[in-house]
A and B are shown apart, each in its own frame.
Chain A
């Protein structure tokens, strides 16, 4: 089964089919070394500047390695994107690994930011990109994809995250469930919007880079993707498509998500309540006990004591995913909010509860 492709390989040490010993850090934090083979490049798994390669881990596990070529300069986009990807992947892994929602996101195998060519390893993607589906998707499939996408948006919102790069290519579909890729485009909710994304999938505000990111940005993308799947044509990049009213299956749950401004769109939880009646899954995930809670509290207490002893103000975190000016954001963000965000960012429950606890 193991075949070695000597063409198109970029992996170091992959000479004449000799297995590479790939060393990476597992999501649990342990360092592992696995004999593996890096195979040919895999197109359209991740957008540039990252590149994806098929990897055979230990001779049996099919994985995909996203890496960026060596950074050209300190501001190179590749490493930053990869870092954001790893952060989001870790966050999602910690929140949903072992839960029913695990399959909505790429399954993290490991990562290494210190390698010569930093990389992150996922299990191989499931199914095909949804871009192929606009040639005849069944109504049942459309509804499942719609539900999965809104669910993923809601779950990420629960963690304080928003996916800014939802496009048909980033959505994979295996006939049963959708899977969201391109986690490098995930940002923290409330961070400053930078102009990014392609019309019509990116919301107008996001493309113009005005205001702060909102979970409802992703809802716009979901609406556009589902519109394209159902109708086979791209939607209006500036607002609701003109013929929306003639697509009953689109109009009812997602019609309001086409609003040009984020505040006019319904909250993901509201849409999800229609698509998936029952308790809000993100709330359920949030309500799980956090095993690290005592340690976090110890850490916070220790930090507070040190800062008080040093005569400094309360500590705040404001690391933006993409913003190089995180230092200024740090002082701007209210301390309580920032603390909550940080927890959410690293996989703990979202901010609200913690803030009440202070």
Chain B
């Protein structure tokens, strides 16, 4: 297959990419408009570039001098392509022998003025010297023609035998012309016939192949990052919309609410009611009424029972509700929904996607490794994802365990206690006062004893929870304190005569004290029992349940759809980045063609013999896999400076590769937009990543490290070439100085040089250097050379610096022909044409540039 080599090169111009078509092998498929469009689209696709928005296409067409005539329809197609097209034709090879051109030469095609100049006769004998026949279309403002007679110019004896169209030398020239396309066209437009022969002197400053391979592998590894991240990933700084997704908008309106009348609301209300009833029941029980009548105890017990049941029911309701996937059942009319109203979420998916994308991109642009970004995204996903039912169930067990509810029960021992410190002095006092009356009225003390002991026993028998304890110990304490008190009272009365009112008053006081004592014991027993029932915790439990519901509802349902979306998006992005990291490592490990992705360890890896996948990209050529290993000696006009890489090299390459990954992620974000599943995009991204890494490597090999690749986000390179290449930046600068040095070499043989115009004022010169050098601000037309035409001083988006001189041809060497198509070009069969000499062409050259 002798297919033409079609290359699309990258440049910085806003007018869009440059399409390089090599027509020499035939290019029959480009004769039709469709064929050309196919070729252009193929190149744009391969370079992942859009069609130029301005509709301005730029073509660099490589051809032979013969082909200029034979394929002139291609040139016309190219010139008519898009809204506007600029075409630079590069004809390589010797001019056809005039004797073999059978067409009779019209007389007026020969410019008689030409022979009047001081130039020698162009042709050996008859005045029919070699002529460059070109399509007349190449004459207009937006086109130009360069003729290279011999790329081997200025050879010396021991140079390797190469052809006159040596592909290596041609590639260098094409690279330079690609970079200087607009400048060259502008310079040509100032020349006669828009045609010239280049004279060149270039210096290539690039990395040595070994340094390039090493930097490439290091950059890939740095891009991928370490496979085993130590410790947990850093808590991701959440983008604002995601943060809002987690925290809500704040404010009271933001809280989840139970639907009034719903089951949760009802059970919560019931809990509140029973808890309120608990307080009343306790107050009723504590009073003397509670002591006297049994109903108070029963009421209190049932109140506790009710509250416990209500709380248990409420807990079950809450937990059941939190198991639902949605806060309200979508099916209308079904009573099974958990009846919670969640506040509205006002954000949008686009916002979330945009913020996640911005986060991932800024991390990558800041130089974070792919695996690190991936881990952060996974962590973010874990933060954002709505809680699962299982998670909330576990949490419910932790926060409101069953045991707390089991603790609320009236079936707790009711113990009446009489303490030696609190009750005994009272009993003693009561006994003392009761026995002040003289005998037999002393027996009135028995009433007091009866009241105190009876009260205690009565209290003990009350037993609201049904689990009673023997009240006798308390009664014994009372008796034990009261009887000595009574004895002391009797002794006192006997020893000391008292006023008549004293015994009566004493008895009354003693009765009051006894009642107080009984009531105190009762209250203490009630309080103690109350504590044991766990009723005081009921309110706290209800609060905890409500908090669980609120928290759980928020974590499970609040903006659940959007949170799931954000979490899944973060995860798929993380997965894609992981895959990209693996691809990067894969590329870094391979010295030659990259193999297909090795499958992740699935547990059976060790049992299978490894698959033998083929190379994924046939078009892969790296600097280290073959002919490039020791760079061949270039043409004489090309100096080579190979650096071992500077300190900024790996970082710059890494940034380029990071930009490549970002570019490869484009389809991922787009597919997420369309809502595809998770698996498909990751495969797409993987393919895209492989493709773009291959492109990146090809760019590195072809254009060097100085030219930013097409996908680079930062078009600026570090200002020091030395930092990238490790070569002192002095050399490219030197190339731009006007110091006398080696002269550019005309790319023609000695015989062919006779066809060149010798008028120095018509020569155009372009000096260029990589735009990383400090002269970039001087870009523009420099001062005219002393005896030459204008010198343009420009920056070059690649690895070359040097001088390109455009030497015009003598008058009459160029012949324009025009094609007349019988049918329109749109018709595929429409290229029956005849050519004729464009004798009446405008003599533009004579009008403006002839010196006399």
Contact = CB atoms under 8 A, between A and B. Distances in A.
A80 B681 CA distance: 42
A19 interface: no
Which residue, of A140, A175, A275, has the highest number of chain B Cβ atoms within 10 A? A140
Interface string A21-56: 000000000000000000000011001100000000
Contact of A252 (B235, B394, B579): B394
Interface residues on B, range: 35 or more
Contacts of B606: 198
A230 B378 contact: yes
Contact of A48 (B391, B605, B608): B608
B682 interface: yes
Nearest to A250: B382
Interface string B601-617: 11111111001000000
Nearest to B378: A231
Nearest to B681: A136
A143 B231 contact: no
Given A231-B378, A232-B378, A277-B323, A253 B578 contact: no
B424 interface: no
Contact of B607 (A48, A134, A141, A143): A48
* Best-surrounded residue of A130, A135, A165, A252 (most CB of chain B within 10 A): A135
A135 B374 CA distance: 10
Given A137-B678, A242-B231, A248 B599 contact: no
Nearest to B235: A246
Contacts of B578: 134-135, 232
B666 interface: no
Given A230-B378, A243-B233, A252-B395, A136 B571 contact: yes
Interface string A132-149: 111111111101000000
Contacts of B575: 134-137, 232
B394 A253 contact: yes
B228 interface: yes
Nearest to A143: B388
Interface string A234-262: 10000000110111110011000000000
Interface in B566-597: 567-568, 571-576, 578-579
Nearest to B568: A138
A153 interface: no
Given A246-B382, A252-B391, A136 B574 contact: yes
B332 interface: no
Contact of A233 (B228, B393, B677, B682): B228
Contacts of B388: 143, 249, 252-253
Contacts of B604: 44, 47, 167, 169-170, 198
B385 interface: yes
Contacts of B600: 131-132, 134, 168
A275 B390 contact: yes
A167 B382 contact: no
Given A249-B391, A252-B395, A277-B389, A47 B232 contact: no
A345 interface: no
A44 B611 CA distance: 11
A325 B337 CA distance: 57
A201 interface: yes
A239 to B, nearest CB: 15
Interface in A140-186: 140-141, 143, 165, 167-170, 175
Given A129-B602, A169-B602, A233-B227, 20 more contacts: A47-B608, A130-B602, A133-B679, A134-B578, A134-B600, A135-B682, A136-B575, A137-B678, A138-B677, A139-B568, A170-B604, A198-B605, A231-B375, A232-B374, A232-B575, A247-B378, A248-B387, A249-B388, A253-B388, A253-B391
26 contacts: A43-B608, A44-B608, A47-B608, A48-B608, A130-B602, A131-B603, A132-B600, A135-B682, A136-B571, A136-B573, A136-B682, A137-B575, A137-B678, A138-B571, A138-B572, A168-B600, A168-B602, A231-B378, A233-B228, A243-B231, A249-B388, A252-B390, A252-B394, A274-B394, A275-B390, A277-B323
Give 10 closest A-B pairs by Cβ, nearest first.
A167-B603, A136-B575, A131-B602, A136-B572, A169-B602, A135-B575, A243-B232, A252-B391, A274-B390, A138-B568
